[in-house]
Amino acid sequence: MALLNFKKRETVENGPVNPTVEAFLKDYSIEVMPRTAEKVEDFRALLPAGTRVYIAHIEGTPIEDMVATAKRLAAEGYPVMPHFPARIIKDAKTLENWIAMYQGEAGVDQALLLAGGVAEPHGEFHCSMQLMETGLFDKAGFKRLHVAGHPEGNKDIDPKGGDASVMEALRWKQKFSETTDAKMALATQFCFEAKPIIAWANGLKAAGIDLPIHIGIAGPAKLQTLIKFAIACGIGPSLKVLQKRAMDVTKLLLPYEPNDVVTELAAHKAANPDFNITNVHFFPLGGIKTNATWAINNGGASTRPVNPT
């Protein structure tokens, strides 16, 4: 397959690249699953070299499929960050085996640790903090550990809709980041509106939580698809952005693109360089190729291989 020539783009389909958006998209990451990755013949035709690729671990997916996907992506030159969902990991021995498999087959040295969208734990773990407490990631020499962030709250953690438990967990993770050799960051659920994201990020900093934030952005997709995923994932206030769009007959059948939210966040970052959102993390709900093409067209490609930090 012919590979794309990732040169700096001077224009996009509808006009010039916005330099603030281009800067904001630098070193973006993207999420795949084994079944979606299978549909991509060669990721090097879609993603700039060095793009961090998360591999989502959905309940029921065999670990062998996860490791095979990690091995394939690593062979194509991408740093791989598999999910470790606490509630589907039976015990510490299972966790240790997963780490060994990922490292032995794919050289994995980074992970996203999260509770996982399962109501009842399969074993002794129910949250990401317990995974960190095992010390197994430090023992294995992992260089980077990401944990979940929730700009619009998480009713799985705070059923009544507040943020007391979420904030307590984030303070614990902040302290843990000061004891581990691994670099840590928050990787968030996707949102559709910039203002609540900015307020949330500023609120964390005010509370003394200064972990870098990799903000979740939903890639281009059909509106119906996004609404379905948003409801399933518990997206809150910014869901109204999609609902408003659904009421506009002129936009109802057009695919959603994240131009507005990305442009507003990029402008805020440009005006406030110390803003704690450092990276964009894409959820390619409309397909990996569609998302990658949007990113390329908006300046999210590098002129050289990058080493995400």
- 302 in any annotated domain: no
pTM score > 0.75 for this model? yes
Higher-confidence residue: 165 or 154? 165
User: Which domain covers residue 153, as residue numbers?
Assistant: 11-297
CATH code, domain carrying 106? 3.20.20.220
Q: What percent of the chain is predicted at pLDDT more than 70?
A: 80
In whole angstroms, what is the distance from residue 175 CA to residue 211 CA?
A: 10
| Cα–Cα nearest to 265, from 3, 25, 56, 101 | 25
pLDDT band at 163 (very low <50, low <70, confident <90, very high): confident
In whole angstroms, what is the distance from residue 24 CA to residue 278 CA?
A: 8
Q: Do 32 and 70 form a contact (C-beta atoms < 8 A)?
A: no
- 81 in any annotated domain: yes
DSSP H helix total and E strand total for the chain:
13, 10
Q: Which amino acid is at 10?
A: E
Higher-confidence residue: 224 or 230? 224
Q: Average pLDDT over the chain, rounded to whole?
A: 86
Structure tokens at 3: 């590979």
29-32 vs 15-16, strand pairing mode = unpaired
Residue 214's H or E segment, with its range, is: strand 213-218
**3-class secondary structure, 282:** strand
pLDDT attached to residue 220:
92
- 303 in any annotated domain: no
In whole angstroms, what is the distance from residue 274 CA to residue 136 CA?
A: 33
Higher-confidence residue: 302 or 72? 72
pLDDT attached to residue 256:
84
- 308 in any annotated domain: no
- 307 in any annotated domain: no
Q: Give 29-75 pLDDT, tens digit per residue.
A: 999 999 999 999 999 999 999 999 999 999 999 999 999 999 999 99
Neighbour-count burial for 190-224, b at 16+ CB within 10 Å, e otherwise: bbbbbeebbebbeebeeeebebebbbbbbbbbebe
The tally of domains found in the chain comes to: 1
- 5 in any annotated domain: no
pLDDT attached to residue 296:
94
- 111 in any annotated domain: yes
pLDDT attached to residue 304:
36
Q: Give 166-188 pLDDT, tens digit per residue.
A: 899 999 999 999 999 999 999 99
- 255 in any annotated domain: yes
